[in-house]
Amino acid sequence: MSQRTTYLLVDGENIDATLGTSVLGRRPQPEERPRWQRLLDHAEDRWGQDVKALFFLAVGEELPSSFVQALLAMGYTPVPLSGAGKVVDIAIDRTARALVDRAADVMLVSHDRDFVPAMTELADGERRLGVVGFGEFMAGDLKAIPGIEILDLEYEVKAFTSTLPRVRIIPIDEFDPAEFI
């Protein structure tokens, strides 16, 4: 691994909400949720460097202990937050802006256009930037940031154990009629 670090900023709420509302049309079952270890492994392999993985969580009065323990076991740093408003978005935005002065690469896991200003600020031409999620639900403004890599959580990261019921544009070289007949 190189001396440089990738910061993996995970907006778990956004991914879970998009998966439930937009992809499945219902609350995801545990086996339908992303395998977060695969995401971490993919981030390390893709850019060939160490990853500092931060998983941001909005919590109420009680810490989701079993999920936090699972994140820790995988190598994530859980960031449990409480307060008024969109605490996860606020914390990710602050973290991204704090990384502007560091020689680090950033991979954001979210579809949210609220992160466009901070990610644009990070797009200095020197660092690698990526955004991970479901391509068809990603904010166009995120996709338009100069030099950003768009990574699909299902197709490229392979974070799911089964195929999701998504409708996507299929490049003809990837078309398999067996999927439709």
How many angstroms separate the Cα of 41 from the Cα of each of 45, 56, 150?
Answer: 6, 18, 17
Residue 67 CB neighbours (<10 A) = 16
In this structure, which amino acid lies at residue 1?
M
Helix, strand, or coil (residue 130): strand
Show the domains of the chain with their CATH numbers.
2-179 (3.40.50.1010)
Asked if 116 and 16 touch (Cβ cutoff 8 Å), the reply is no
Query: What is the per-residue pLDDT across 57-78, written as a single tens digit (0 to 9) for each?
Result: 999 888 999 999 999 999 999 9
Give the model's confidence band at 1: pLDDT under 50 very low, under 70 low, under 90 confident, else very high.
low
Residue-level pLDDT at 2: 56
**What is the predicted pLDDT for the residue at 38?**
97
**Predicted local distance difference test score (pLDDT) of residue 126:** 93
